[in-house]
Chains A and B, each alone.
Chain A
Amino acid sequence: MAIEKMVPLMLGGIRDTMYMTVVSTLFAYLLGFPLAILLVLTAPKGLRPHALVYRVLDAVVNIFRSIPFLILMILVIPLTRLIAGKAYGSTATIVPLVIAAAPYVARMIESSLLEVDPGVIEAAQSMGASIPAIILKVIIPEAKTSLIVGATISSGTILGYSAMSGAIGGGGLGQIAISYGYNRYQTDVLLVTVVLLVILMQIIQAIGMYISRKTDKRIRE
Chain B
Amino acid sequence: MPLIELKHLTKTFKGKTQTVEALRDINLEINQGDIYGIIGMSGAGKSTLVRCINFLERPTSGSVIIDGKDLSTLSQKELRQLRQQVSMIFQHFNLLQQRDVRGNIAFAMEIAGKKKAEIDRRIDELLEIVGLTDRQHNYPSQLSGGQQQRVAIARALATNPKIILCDEATSALDPTTTTSILNLLREINRTLGITIVIITHEMSVVESICSHVAIIDDGALAEVGTVEQVFSQPKSKAAKKLIFRKAGADTGVMGDRMIRIVFEGTASNEPYIASLILECHVSVNIMYADTRDVGGKTFGQMILQLPEDHLQQDKIIYYLRNKGLRVEEVSSDGH
Q: Which residues of A contact B (CB under 8 A)?
A: 117, 119-120, 122-130, 133, 137-138, 141-142, 144-145, 216-221
Contacts and interface: CB of A to CB of B under 8 A. Distances in A.
Contact of A218 (B56, B107, B141): B141
A144 B155 CA distance: 22
Contacts of B99: 141, 217
B108 A219 contact: no
B63 interface: no
B92 interface: yes
Given A123-B152, A130-B80, A141-B99, 11 more contacts: A117-B94, A119-B94, A120-B97, A126-B86, A127-B112, A128-B83, A142-B97, A142-B98, A144-B98, A145-B98, A220-B141
B142 interface: yes
Contacts, number: 78
A213 B94 CA distance: 22
A128 B56 contact: no
A36 B39 CA distance: 41
A150 to B, nearest CB: 16
24 contacts: A119-B90, A120-B95, A122-B94, A123-B88, A123-B94, A126-B54, A126-B88, A126-B165, A127-B87, A127-B88, A127-B111, A129-B80, A133-B111, A137-B107, A137-B111, A138-B96, A142-B96, A142-B98, A145-B98, A218-B98, A218-B140, A218-B141, A219-B141, A220-B141
Given A137-B107, A217-B141, A126 B56 contact: yes
Interface string B69-95: 000000000011111101110101011
Nearest to B85: A128
Contacts of B149: none
B157 to A, nearest CB: 12
Given A119-B90, A123-B90, A128 B84 contact: yes
Nearest to B139: A217
Given A120-B95, A127-B84, A128-B112, A220 B142 contact: yes
Q: Give the residue among A122, A127, A219 with the most B Cβ atoms within 10 A.
A: A127
Contacts of B333: none
Binding site of B, secondary structure by majority: helix, strand, loop or mixed? Answer: mixed
Contacts of B152: 123
Contacts of A125: 56, 83
Interface residues of B, number: 33
Contacts of A144: 98
Contacts of A220: 141-142
Contacts of A145: 98
A159 to B, nearest CB: 28
Closest 7 CB pairs of A and B: A128-B83, A128-B80, A123-B94, A126-B88, A119-B94, A217-B139, A129-B111
B98 A122 contact: no
B230 to A, nearest CB: 28
Nearest to A145: B98
Nearest to A129: B111
Contacts of A119: 90, 92, 94
Interface string B27-44: 000000000000000000
Nearest to A131: B76
A216 to B, nearest CB: 8
B228 interface: no
Nearest to A120: B94
Contacts of A133: 111
A159 B22 CA distance: 52
A145 B139 CA distance: 15
B139 A127 contact: no
Given A142-B97, A219-B141, A220-B142, A126 B111 contact: no
A141 B56 contact: no
Contact of B98 (A126, A128, A141): A141
B108 A141 contact: no
Nearest to A144: B98
Contacts of A128: 79-84, 111-112
Contacts of B140: 218
Contacts of A129: 80, 111
B125 interface: no
Contacts of A219: 141
A85 B140 CA distance: 53
B110 interface: yes
Interface string B121-156: 000000000000000000111100000000010010
A135 to B, nearest CB: 13
A1 to B, nearest CB: 50
B163 to A, nearest CB: 11
Contacts of A217: 97-100, 139, 141
Contact of A124 (B81, B98, B111): B111
Nearest to B84: A128
A125 B159 CA distance: 14
Contact of A127 (B79, B92, B97, B108): B108
Contacts of A137: 107, 110-111
Given A123-B90, A128-B80, A218 B97 contact: yes
